[in-house]
Copies of this chain bind each other. A is one copy, B any other.
Amino acid sequence: MAKDKAFDRVPVALTPWERFEEYLCARGMRKTAQRRILVEYVFNQHDHFDVDTLLARLPRRGQPRHVSRPTVYRTLGEFVDAGLLRKFELDGRSVYEHDYGYPQHDHLHCQRCQRLIEFQSDELLALRDRVAYAHHFRVSGHRLIVTGLCASCWEAPRRRGRRAARGS
């Protein structure tokens, strides 16, 4: 697994929050409680998530550290701008994943259990750049999603996947 090949970014010296502080400061934006809470919840576990998942993890409305849905949307957008998160679409919904401190990677998406499996391939990057070059195309990024069935789902086709399918 290629380590330091993705972005020539400074080796993660700063925590996500510190890095976000830089971003906020650089833009004259404010360090609010909500932003701190969201950094904490988002970077506590390395996993893919959508807005509803994140909201479900957060305290309910009325509870101490609750953050409203619009603020979650706005803040996740800031995380993306700040380079902390990457965003992509899956079945019409936005899915976010950690970007800061993680190398570029792509996904295998199980159609049955909805699991997202990450993989990293330098070959793919090289291939992508070669194709782009041939088309005089300036690459800024890419997204590859391979769909199919994960091992647990096709090995035991009658059982449900390890993870519940979306929508309960």
Contact = CB atoms under 8 A, between A and B. Distances in A.
A143 interface: yes
Interface residues of A, number: 34
A25 interface: no
Interface stretch (A7-15, A48-56, A149-157): A149-157
Nearest to A117: B135
B144 A139 contact: no
Interface of A: 89, 92, 108, 110-111, 117, 119, 121, 123-124, 127-128, 131-132, 134-151, 154-155
Closest 5 CB pairs of A and B: A136-B151, A138-B149, A140-B148, A142-B146, A139-B148
Contact of A137 (B108, B123, B136): B108
Contacts of A128: 144, 146
A142 B140 contact: no
A151 to B, nearest CB: 4
Given A89-B92, A143-B144, A143-B145, A138 B119 contact: no
Given A89-B92, A143-B144, A154 B131 contact: no
A73 to B, nearest CB: 13
